[in-house]
């Protein structure tokens, strides 16, 4: 695993810096720029503060966007209608959605109208309400040990982070002692199969693959056959995010499901839709579209480390009520976290966990 080391350093370096490059142009702060001692310090800080602070650091762009606009509204005056309106706008701007924004502001108005409030009190009140919205969707992905394997189909648009998330999940479950197999079902893009193989090697799990252009459903069938024969605990199936058109993609996903059900009528046991948090409101449309193509059991939100639009997670939770089983906070194999409602809500509002 020595090759993940430089990756980690550059990830820390990027995360520590407020001037993180846009996610669309990743890679990376030069590793050489991180002196050994700085990297060691980072590792030390990391160990002490744990993943909660990493989440907060990762969310910093989203947090900054929300908190700055809220803070800017307060000059120690009594809460009036104008401020409430402006707060509502700030929440909408931060991608929390019209309905969540209205709900939070209405509640705040009821409780504090005409009273003196500080921006910190407002953020704390919002954080509590957001945590309440998020709590029901903060559900972990449970692997059913009776399934051999528990089949996880991973879908989402191109570039949303499917393949990376599969690698992270593979690493996680392998680390928990499960036998994992991957199916390189994105046979549409030339580099996609190779990418999954590299990740598979890194995580130390076998990857079932075929050449570009091969039938994805056939591949998924073979992978499930093999995973059953080898008594794997988890089979993760990667898929294409874009084909020639939407109908093709819909047909391909439906065919994968149909074909694997010949081997296991209840497969896939989990269908995860991966959404890129940097796309903000567009994520809503993606949920709607993919739901028409395949049953979606849960969401994974990626790139929360580089997104100023992390608030969209709240809007999605409120609207679709789909479990958020994990969040991606970096490009490294360890950068997947269970989703925790309160930590996320407080992080978003710039408050300590």
Identify which of residues 185 and 323 has a Cβ nearer to ligand GDP in the complex.
Answer: 185
* Per-residue DSSP letter, 182: E
Query: Does position 252 bind ligand GDP by CB under 6 A?
Result: no
Q: Give least dist CB 250 to Mg ion, A.
A: 18
Residue 175 vs residues 169, 178, 213, 289: alpha-carbon distances, Å: 10, 7, 32, 34
Query: Does position 239 bind Mg ion by CB under 5 A?
Result: no
CA atoms of 133 and 100, how far apart (whole Å): 9
Give the residues across from 337 on adjacent strands: 327
| SS3 track for 313-329 | HHHHHHHHCCCEEEEEC
Stretch that binds Mg ion, among 67-75, 85-93, 179-187, 326-334 (CB under 5 A): 179-187
Among 163, 171, 239, 278, binds Mg ion (CB under 5 A): 163
233 Cβ contact partners less than 8 Å away, ≥ 6 residues apart: 143, 145, 147, 148, 149, 150, 173, 178, 179, 180
Stretch that binds ligand GDP, among 65-73, 157-165, 204-212, 318-326 (CB under 6 A): 157-165
Residue 95 interacts, among ligand GDP, Mg ion, none and using kind-specific CB cut-offs from 5 to 8 Å, with: none
Identify which of residues 105 and 316 has a Cβ nearer to ligand GDP in the complex.
Answer: 316
Query: Does position 156 bind ligand GDP by CB under 6 A?
Result: yes
Q: How many other β-carbons are positioned within 10 Å of the β-carbon of residue 312?
A: 26
Residue 318 interacts, among Mg ion, ligand GDP, none and using kind-specific CB cut-offs from 5 to 8 Å, with: none
The footprint of ligand GDP on residues 15-74 (CB under 6 A) is 23, 26
Q: Give least dist CB 279 to ligand GDP, A.
A: 12
Strand 324-328 to 336-337 pairing: antiparallel
Residues that bind ligand GDP (CB under 6 A): 23, 26, 156, 158-164, 241, 302-303, 305-306, 328-331, 335
């Amino acid at each position: 695993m020595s090759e993940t080391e430089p990756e980690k350093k550059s990830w820390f370096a990027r995360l520590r810096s407020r001037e993180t490059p846009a996610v669309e142009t990743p890679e990376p702060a030069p590793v050489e720029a991180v002196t050994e001692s700085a990297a060691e310090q980072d590792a030390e800080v990391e160990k002490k503060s744990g993943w909660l602070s990493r989440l907060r650091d990762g969310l910093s762009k989203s947090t900054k966007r929300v908190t700055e606009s809220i803070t800017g509204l307060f000059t120690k005056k009594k809460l009036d209608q104008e401020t409430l309106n402006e707060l509502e706008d700030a929440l909408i701007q931060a991608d929390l959605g019209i309905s969540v924004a209205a709900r939070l502001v209405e509640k705040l108005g009821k409780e504090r109208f005409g009273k003196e409030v500080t921006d910190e009190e407002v953020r704390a009140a919002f954080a509590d309400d957001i945590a309440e919205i998020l709590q029901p969707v903060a559900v972990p992905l449970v692997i059913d040990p009776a399934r051999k394997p528990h089949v996880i189909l991973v879908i989402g648009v191109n570039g949303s982070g499917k393949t990376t998330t599969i690698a992270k999940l593979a690493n996680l479950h392998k680390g928990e002692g499960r036998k994992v197999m991957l199916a390189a079902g994105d046979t549409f893009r030339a580099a996609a199969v190779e990418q999954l193989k590299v990740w598979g090697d890194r995580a130390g799990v076998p990857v079932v693959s075929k050449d570009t252009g091969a039938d994805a459903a056939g591949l998924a069938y073979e992978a499930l056959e093999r995973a059953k024969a080898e008594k794997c605990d988890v089979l993760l199936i990667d898929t294409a995010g874009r084909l020639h058109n939407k109908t093709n993609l819909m047909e391909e996903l439906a065919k994968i499901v149909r074909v694997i059900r010949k081997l296991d009528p209840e497969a896939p046991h989990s269908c995860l839709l991966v959404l890129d948090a940097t796309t903000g409101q567009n994520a809503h449309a993606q949920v709607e579209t993919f739901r028409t193509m395949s049953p979606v059991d849960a969401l994974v939100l990626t790139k929360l480390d580089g997104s100023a639009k992390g608030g969209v997670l709240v809007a999605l939770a409120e609207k679709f009520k789909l479990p958020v089983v994990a969040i991606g906070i970096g490009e490294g194999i360890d950068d997947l976290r269970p989703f925790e409602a309160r930590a996320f809500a407080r992080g978003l509002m710039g408050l300590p966990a």
